[in-house]
Amino acid sequence: MKNRVTNQRGAKTLTAFLFLFPFLFLYSVFTIWPVIQGVYVSLHKWGLMGKIRFLGLGNYTRFLTDRYFWEALGHTTWFVIISVPLLVVAPVGLGLLANRGFRMKKFLRTAYYIPTVLSVAVISRIAAWIFGSYNGFLSFLLHDLGILAPHQEIMWFQSTNLIWIVVTLTTLWWTVGFSMMLVISALQDIPETLYEAAELDGASKSRQLFGITLPLLKPIISLILLLQMISSFKVFGQIQLISGGGPGTATRPLIQYVYESAFRQSDMGYGAAMSYALFAILVGLSYLQLRLQRA
């Protein structure tokens, strides 16, 4: 009997492994191995052409004195600072709105979520069309409303401050839907009996919001904060397509500098080293946030 149970367990384990093997194989080939190979590349003078030369930690010590690296890291950090609060607060507000019991609920959920299925190229093209000077939608609208005189224009893409506003609003519109759905899912898990008991005790809607809803949403808000912080540190596509990192290099993020170093300057080793520096920053910030969350 014991041998029979052992054989059954062995068969189930083998079956589970066979089902998992395709994923494990593809994940190892396309994720784990490139990470290992990237570490190897970062230790060498590695170009698209020419001789490969071992440098040890030379690429890692190089970016410590590279002002363009610190400039790009500063731009990335600034984008995190200005975008993450919006990317956390907006989904909570929209989730509360789209979870209310009225007829427009399904329409709002669909309208907020649709941009998330679009590619970054499409989103960036829409942003360029909206904010374009002289022939952009916003330019026509402001002129038609008389807010801007016929000879006036807002140069969204030529001003460092304004381009950050464009990129932040574009990112918010593009990504808010996914986080909103997480909030709605968490809201639906809150028992209605809690609100019924609060109403019997005479608690107002605002009291219920701050005493029941938001405290119970704390885990999902922490998750959204972590995800958006990581995503904002990895910003690249929308800045590359909307501003190209300009004007000049005023909005160039770290990922764009990594891309330019690796592929335009044919310095794969240096690009890989900077990538792992960003990886270390993300791991450290994620660990710190999780520790603060548990405290």
**What does the pLDDT read at residue 49?**
78
Residue 239 has pLDDT above 60, yes or no: yes
CB proximity list for 4: less than 8 A, separation 6 or greater:
none
Question: 72-76, 110-114, 140-144, 207-211 — which one is most confidently predicted on average?
Answer: 72-76
Give the residue from 287, 253, 248, 276 showing the smallest Cα distance to 60. Answer: 276
pLDDT at 97: 86
Residue carrying structure tokens 């990112």? 171
Using the predicted structure, report yes or no on whether residue 2 has a pLDDT greater than 70: no
pLDDT of 5 over the 60 cut: no
Q: Which two tokens stand for residue 143?
A: 């002129």
What superfamily in CATH does domain 42-294 come from?
MetI-like (1.10.3720.10)
pLDDT of residue 7: 66
* The total number of residues written for the chain in this structure: 295
- Sign, CA dihedral 100-105-109-111, equals negative
Residue 107 buriedness (CB in 10 A; 0-12 / 13-18 / 19+):
exposed
Mean pLDDT on 122-141 = 88
* Better-scored residue on pLDDT, 5 or 39: 39
Percentage of the chain exceeding pLDDT 70 = 97
- Mean pLDDT throughout 251-255? 93
List the one residue out of 76, 95, 77 whose CA is nearest residue 176.
95
Model pLDDT for residues 30-89, shown as the tens digit of each residue: 989 988 998 999 998 888 777 888 888 999 999 999 999 999 999 999 999 999 999 999
pTM (two decimals) = 0.88
**Domain coordinates in residue numbering, the chain:** 42-294
| Mean pLDDT across the chain | 88
169 vs 147, more confident: 169
Q: SS3 for 53?
A: strand
